[in-house]
A = this chain, B = another copy of it.
Amino acid sequence: MPYYLKIKKLDIKTGQSDIALLNVDEAMRYGIKAGDKIKISWQKNSVIAEANTSHKRVKPGWIGLYRDIWENMEILPNTIAEVNFLERAQSVQAIKKRLLGKKLKYKDFYQIFSDIANGILTRTETTYFVAASFMHEYSNQELCDMVRAMAETGEMLKFEDKIVVDKHSVGGLAGNRTTMVAIPILASLGLTIPKTSSRAITSPAGTADTMEVLAPVAFNAKEIKAIVKKTNACLVWGGGVNLAPADDKILQVSYPLSLEPYDKMLVSIMAKKVATGVTHLVIDMPVGSTTKIPNMKIAKELEKKFQFIAKKFNIKVKVAIIQAEDPIGMGVGPSLEARDVLRVLQQKDNYPADLANKSIHLAGQLLELSGKAKKGQGAKIAWEVLESGQAWKKMQEIIEAQGGNPNIDPNDIILAAHKTYYNAPRSGKIIFTDNKAINTIARILGAPKDKLAGIYLNKEYGDHVKKGERLFTLYARGKERLRLADTALKKMAIFKIGK
C-alpha cells in the first residue's frame, strides 16, 4: 500500500548512496525504519533510495531527497511522490548461493545485475556479490553468462556498419591518453569507432575527463549515433548512455579494497563491447609493478580468457601486452593531458614521442586485425595519417560534432593559476618513475574534478639531470593544495635519481 509525500530537495551529498529523509513519526507509522529501502516514484521517474529519519528536518507529509538523487533528475516544485516499501530482493538468494561456492546461471546474473543497476540491492549486498568473485574463480561459461547479462541489463547500441572497431586500455598507467590519438587515426581511414570512455575513478584523469577539456562528452544513444554517422567516430562519456549500468556500482564497492578482481574487470570490459556491437577489438594491457597487471603470467591468463569470451560473442580480439612502468605523455591531469594530445595530433615540435608511438602501435594493430592493413603494415599507415595531418582533421570533425572548438591550439589550454617547480636535488640519471606517486599527488592537487590541476613531468625515465634542473611542475587552484602535495612529497618520490 503506497504512501504519498511531497518532495523536498535537500542540499546534502553522500557521494555514494541515494538517501531519502522521512519524518521519524511518519516513518514509524508506515512501518519504515532508518536503513530500509524504499521506492519513490513521480511522473515517469522512479528511484530506489535508503530511508533515513529525522525529527525536525522533514515535516510530516514531506520526503526529503539528497542531492545524489535530484542532481541528475528533473523534479518540478510541488511534486508528489508515491512511496513504497521494498521487499528484500530475490537476487539476494543468488548471491548467497555464490558465496557458498555454488555456480550461477544466466538468469541469476541477470537478476543480480538488474537489481544492482536499479539500486534494489544495497551497497552491502552488492559488496557480498563482489566478495564472492574474489574467492571462487568463475568458469568460462559463467564469465560468458555474466557478460551477456551485464550487457543486456543496460542499453544496447546498434550501428549499421558491418565492422565496428574499438581499442580499450585496462588502465593503471598515468597519462596514457592513446585513445584520443588512435581514434581519429582509425576514423580518418574509414573505420567506424564509437568510443565510450569512463571518467577517472582512482586515477587523476580518464579519457572522458580529458576529452571534456576539448568538447562536451555527455550524450544519449541517439546523439551518439548522429555523431558517429557524421564522423565515423565519437569520444564520449559512457555514463551518458546506459551501457552495462551495473558496472559502475560494482566498481564503487570494489574501490575500498583497491583490488579489482580480474574476472570482474574482464566482464566489465567485454559487456560494454557487446552492448556497443563491437566486432574487432584491441586491448592495451600495460604490465608492470605499479600498474594494474603486475606480471606476465597474469597477463597471459587474462589474454586467454579475453580470447575465449570474445569468440563466444563473435568479436575478434588482440591483446597488446606491453611492459610499462613509465607514464605515457608528459602531462598528468585532464587539461595537461589534453594539451599533450593536441601536441601529438598537430605534430608540434614539443609533442611527447611516447604518446605518439604507443598510439600508432595500437592503431596499427587494429588496422591489421580489421583487415584495413596487411600484416606488418598497420603502424606505417597509422603514422602516415598522423604525420599528414589527416588524423588531426578527423579530430577537428569529432570535436566540432560534439560541440567543441575545432580550431583549438595546445597553447589555448588553460592550466591552474598556482604552480610550484621541483628541481633535481642532485645530478644523475632517472632510474625509476613512481606511477602510483604521480597519481596520488595529481589527485591531491585536485585532478580529476579540477580539470586545470595536475603535474607536468619536465623529465622522464632514463633522462640525465643536473643538480637544480627542473624535474616536474605542480599545478593547483589554490596554495593550500600545493602545500598538501608538498607534504605528501616528503613521504613519496616521483622520480628516483641514480648515479
Chain A residues close to B by CB (< 8 Å): 1, 10-16, 19, 21, 24, 28-31, 33-35, 50, 52-57, 67, 88, 92, 95-96, 99-101, 122-125, 127-128, 131-132, 134-136, 253, 256-259, 444, 446, 449, 478, 480-481, 484, 487
**With A124-B124, A132-B135 as contacts: A35 and B16 at CB distance below 8 Å:** yes
A-B CB contact pairs (8 Å), 24 listed:
A11-B54, A12-B53, A13-B34, A13-B54, A14-B34, A15-B34, A30-B480, A31-B444, A55-B67, A92-B256, A92-B257, A96-B257, A99-B134, A99-B135, A100-B135, A124-B124, A124-B127, A124-B256, A125-B257, A127-B127, A127-B131, A128-B131, A128-B256, A135-B136
Whole-angstrom distance between the alpha carbons of A478 and B430 in the complex?
75
Q: In the complex, how many angstroms separate the beta carbon of A62 from the nearest chain B beta carbon?
A: 14
Is the Cβ of B259 less than 8 Å from the Cβ of A96? yes
Is the Cβ of B125 less than 8 Å from the Cβ of A124? no
Q: In the complex, how many angstroms separate the beta carbon of A333 from the nearest chain B beta carbon?
A: 15
Q: Which residue of B lies closest to A21 (CB)?
A: B12
Whole-angstrom distance between the alpha carbons of A35 and B252 in the complex?
11
- Picked from B53, B56, B92, B259, the residue with its CB within 8 Å of the CB of A15 is B53
Is the Cβ of A14 less than 8 Å from the Cβ of B31? no
Whole-angstrom distance between the alpha carbons of A64 and B56 in the complex?
15
- Picked from B12, B449, B478, the residue with its CB within 8 Å of the CB of A29 is B478
Q: Which residue of B lies closest to A444 (CB)?
A: B31
The 6 closest A-B pairs by CB, nearest first: A15-B34, A131-B131, A15-B35, A127-B127, A99-B134, A135-B135
Q: In the complex, how many angstroms separate the beta carbon of A479 from the nearest chain B beta carbon?
A: 10
Residues in B neighbouring A21, C-beta threshold 8 A? 12
Whole-angstrom distance between the alpha carbons of A15 and B56 in the complex?
16
Is the Cβ of A95 less than 8 Å from the Cβ of B29? no
Whole-angstrom distance between the alpha carbons of A257 and B124 in the complex?
9
Chain A contact surface mostly:
mixed
- Picked from B52, B96, B478, B481, the residue with its CB within 8 Å of the CB of A12 is B52
Q: Which residue of B lies closest to A125 (CB)?
A: B256
Whole-angstrom distance between the alpha carbons of A127 and B128 in the complex?
7
Whole-angstrom distance between the alpha carbons of A21 and B15 in the complex?
12
Q: Which residue of B lies closest to A253 (CB)?
A: B124
Residues in B neighbouring A444, C-beta threshold 8 A? 31
- Picked from B55, B123, B259, the residue with its CB within 8 Å of the CB of A11 is B55
Given A31-B484, A95-B257, A124-B127, 20 other A-B residues pairs in contact with their CB atoms under 8 A = A1-B487, A12-B21, A12-B57, A13-B24, A13-B53, A15-B53, A28-B449, A29-B481, A31-B444, A31-B481, A55-B67, A92-B256, A92-B258, A99-B131, A100-B134, A123-B124, A127-B127, A128-B257, A131-B132, A135-B136
Q: In the complex, how many angstroms separate the beta carbon of A256 from the nearest chain B beta carbon?
A: 5
Q: In the complex, how many angstroms separate the beta carbon of A307 from the nearest chain B beta carbon?
A: 25
Whole-angstrom distance between the alpha carbons of A54 and B64 in the complex?
14
Residues in B neighbouring A101, C-beta threshold 8 A? 135
Q: In the complex, how many angstroms separate the beta carbon of A128 from the nearest chain B beta carbon?
A: 5
Residues in B neighbouring A33, C-beta threshold 8 A? 15, 449
Q: Which residue of B lies closest to A121 (CB)?
A: B256
Whole-angstrom distance between the alpha carbons of A55 and B134 in the complex?
38
Whole-angstrom distance between the alpha carbons of A387 and B323 in the complex?
82
Residues in B neighbouring A253, C-beta threshold 8 A? 124
Whole-angstrom distance between the alpha carbons of A96 and B1 in the complex?
43
Whole-angstrom distance between the alpha carbons of A87 and B232 in the complex?
45
Whole-angstrom distance between the alpha carbons of A127 and B122 in the complex?
12
Residues in B neighbouring A131, C-beta threshold 8 A? 99, 127-128, 131-132
Whole-angstrom distance between the alpha carbons of A54 and B19 in the complex?
14
Whole-angstrom distance between the alpha carbons of A240 and B13 in the complex?
33
Whole-angstrom distance between the alpha carbons of A19 and B54 in the complex?
14
Whole-angstrom distance between the alpha carbons of A16 and B34 in the complex?
8
Residues in B neighbouring A259, C-beta threshold 8 A? 96
Whole-angstrom distance between the alpha carbons of A42 and B478 in the complex?
28
Whole-angstrom distance between the alpha carbons of A230 and B125 in the complex?
47
Q: Which residue of B lies closest to A450 (CB)?
A: B28
Residues in B neighbouring A128, C-beta threshold 8 A? 127, 131, 256-257
Q: In the complex, how many angstroms separate the beta carbon of A126 from the nearest chain B beta carbon?
A: 9
Whole-angstrom distance between the alpha carbons of A478 and B127 in the complex?
38
Is the Cβ of A56 less than 8 Å from the Cβ of B124? no
**With A29-B478, A101-B135 as contacts: A56 and B11 at CB distance below 8 Å:** yes
Q: In the complex, how many angstroms separate the beta carbon of A277 from the nearest chain B beta carbon?
A: 34
Whole-angstrom distance between the alpha carbons of A132 and B481 in the complex?
38
Whole-angstrom distance between the alpha carbons of A259 and B93 in the complex?
10
Residues in B neighbouring A135, C-beta threshold 8 A? 99-101, 132, 135-136
